[in-house]
């Protein structure tokens, strides 16, 4: 059992997404060597979109676009270290022309794993960066991406410094995106909804965006991927004073006894988590470790419960975590269309389709049929439709250890308490 892998996965709240992205393919690139890129000064906040090649021909080779943080405002560390705070989370939406460029699968959007090695104050500790949900829309030509960096002791309110281009002395690579070339022309590469937060969830503003573009001409273009418009969603515009959502730092949940939290139907010695946005309620053993976070613009809050504490090297013989995330009606059709195929690629093992009766409805899921560096056999992902609000509850279940029957019974007991609600 790789307990450290499980612990890091839980700490990021989307447990099985922590290892989705694999190794960065942009090997050999020098982020500080591009023309026009100056050494970080700490006086401003600069995000840059840079294709590896700005002019290409159509081919079956995917074309890489890189997203850098070139500079970051200097903010003193909250720990007293002789270093700046750096950043602890970020999000953005990248726009492209889908008649020219398209993204094939979520795995083509990769978080730079070296962000988790950045140690600005040299104390041997670093934030572990985990990507949030990636949303690809090849009809509109957009992809949403984001990540949160979990620092040692985060749940106790401690604050580890995050990556800082000033400390590094060079721009920091955040994400790489691989595009199919499906047509000729010039595609702008622009950014909206960008947000960058420090360890105290203070936003870095203003944020200067240096946008790019890619010209495609000649060659053999790939067939465009099937793409349909997302369902129309009527949203009430927020007040102009509302701060943009950034993937938030996980917060430890204080257990609320089920009886006191309006769930007398749950076991007497269990706690209840009532979703603050009102989408669902679930019960779990009071002794289990619980954290929650908000993950992106189209998702609600997630909650993760486990029978071990993240960041520890020892734990139970049969570790279990259960993560639940409310996903919006905007995301639901895309999750339901191909989630098992995507997880088979992510996990690197065959999967089987499963159905499970949960919360008075039938959930559709995918169970891992083998063990890899990304998953343990028997772990599964499940989509539980919520006809009350049109969304879907996405459930991740990870378990390992010799007694699979025991972990199965524990998981089913927790999922048996899930109640869908209308906000």
DSSP class of 52 = S
For the cut 50, the answer to whether the pLDDT of residue 21 exceeds it is no
For the cut 60, the answer to whether the pLDDT of residue 13 exceeds it is no
245: closest CA among 296, 293, 200, 280? 296
CA 312 vs. chain centroid, Å, equals 22
Say how many Å lie between the first and final Cα of the chain, rounded.
39
Neighbours of 237 (CB within 10 A): 6
72: closest CA among 190, 212, 208? 208
Q: Mean pLDDT across the chain, nearest whole number?
A: 79
- Stretch 258-267: mean pLDDT, rounded? 94
Tokens representing 8? 């890091």
Contacts of 296 (CB under 8 A, 6+ apart): 91, 132, 133, 135, 144, 146, 245, 247
Residue range 177-236, pLDDT digits in tens:
999 999 999 999 999 999 998 877 678 999 999 999 999 999 999 999 887 665 444 433
- 251 or 276, higher pLDDT: 276
Question: Measured between alpha carbons, how far is 312 from 185 in angstroms, rounded to an integer?
Answer: 52
Residue range 29-86, pLDDT digits in tens:
333 444 456 789 999 999 999 999 999 999 989 999 999 999 999 998 877 778 889 9
The string of DSSP codes covering 76-98 is B-TTS-SSB---SEEEEEEE--T
Question: Measured between alpha carbons, how far is 50 from 258 in angstroms, rounded to an integer?
Answer: 51
Tokens representing 165? 């281009």
Is residue 313 classed as helix, strand or coil in its secondary structure? coil
Angle of CA points 172, 33, 85, to nearest 5°: 25
Note whether 399 and 380 are within 8 A (CB). no
Note whether 225 and 233 are within 8 A (CB). no
Note whether 197 and 129 are within 8 A (CB). no
Predicted local distance difference test score (pLDDT) of residue 373 = 57
For the cut 90, the answer to whether the pLDDT of residue 171 exceeds it is yes
- Stretch 350-366: mean pLDDT, rounded? 90
Residue range 304-339, pLDDT digits in tens:
888 876 545 456 888 888 989 888 887 777 667 767
Predicted local distance difference test score (pLDDT) of residue 201 = 65
Contacts of 243 (CB under 8 A, 6+ apart): 203
Question: Measured between alpha carbons, how far is 423 from 413 in angstroms, rounded to an integer?
Answer: 25
Q: How far is CA 195 from CA 4, 148, 201, 301, in A?
A: 30, 12, 11, 18
Domain architecture of the chain: domains with CATH:
45-219 (2.60.40.680), 253-420 (2.60.120.1690)
150: closest CA among 36, 10, 28? 10
Bridge partners for 94 per DSSP: 143, 191
Is residue 346 classed as helix, strand or coil in its secondary structure? helix
Contacts of 226 (CB under 8 A, 6+ apart): none
Neighbours of 4 (CB within 10 A): 12
347: closest CA among 371, 315, 323, 317? 371
Bridge partners for 366 per DSSP: 353, 381
């Amino acid at each position: 059992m790789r307990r450290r892998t499980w612990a890091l996965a839980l700490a990021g709240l989307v447990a099985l997404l922590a290892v989705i992205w694999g190794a960065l393919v942009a090997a050999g690139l020098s982020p500080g060597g591009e023309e026009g890129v100056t050494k970080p000064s700490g006086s401003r906040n600069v995000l840059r979109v840079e294709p590896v090649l700005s002019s290409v021909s159509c081919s079956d080779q995917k074309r890489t676009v890189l997203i850098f943080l070139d500079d970051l405002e200097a903010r003193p560390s909250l720990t007293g270290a002789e270093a700046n705070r750096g950043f602890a989370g970020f999000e953005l939406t990248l726009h492209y022309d889908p008649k020219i460029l398209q993204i094939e699968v979520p795995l083509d959007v990769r978080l730079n794993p070296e962000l988790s090695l950045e140690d600005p104050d040299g104390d041997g500790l670093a934030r572990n960066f985990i990507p949030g949900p990636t949303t690809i829309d090849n009809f509109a030509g957009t992809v949403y991406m984001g990540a949160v960096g979990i620092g040692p002791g985060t749940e106790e309110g401690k604050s580890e410094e995050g990556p800082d281009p000033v400390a590094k002395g060079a721009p920091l690579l955040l994400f790489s995106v691989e595009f199919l070339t499906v047509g000729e022309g010039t595609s702008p590469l622009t950014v909206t909804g960008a947000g960058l937060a420090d360890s105290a969830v203070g936003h870095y503003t203003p944020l200067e965006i240096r946008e790019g573009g890619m010209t495609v001409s000649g060659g053999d273009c790939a067939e465009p991927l099937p793409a349909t418009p997302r369902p129309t969603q009527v949203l009430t515009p927020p007040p102009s004073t509302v701060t943009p959502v950034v993937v938030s730092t996980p917060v430890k949940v204080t257990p609320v006894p089920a009886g006191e939290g309006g769930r007398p139907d749950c076991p007497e010695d269990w706690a209840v988590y009532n979703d603050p946005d009102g989408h669902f309620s679930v019960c779990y053993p009071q002794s289990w470790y619980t954290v929650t976070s908000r993950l992106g613009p189209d998702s609600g809050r997630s909650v993760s419960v486990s029978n071990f504490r993240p960041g520890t090297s020892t734990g139970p013989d049969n570790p279990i975590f259960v993560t639940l995330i409310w996903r919006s009606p905007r995301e639901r059709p895309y999750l339901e269309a191909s989630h098992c195929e995507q997880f088979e690629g992510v996990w690197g093992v065959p999967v089987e389709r499963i159905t499970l009766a949960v919360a008075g409805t039938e959930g559709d899921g995918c169970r891992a049929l083998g063990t890899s560096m990304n998953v343990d056999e028997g772990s599964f992902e499940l989509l539980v439709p919520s006809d009350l609000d049109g969304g879907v509850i996405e459930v991740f279940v990870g378990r390992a250890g010799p007694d699979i029957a025991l972990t199965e019974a524990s998981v089913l007991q927790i999922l048996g308490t899930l109640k869908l609600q209308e906000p």
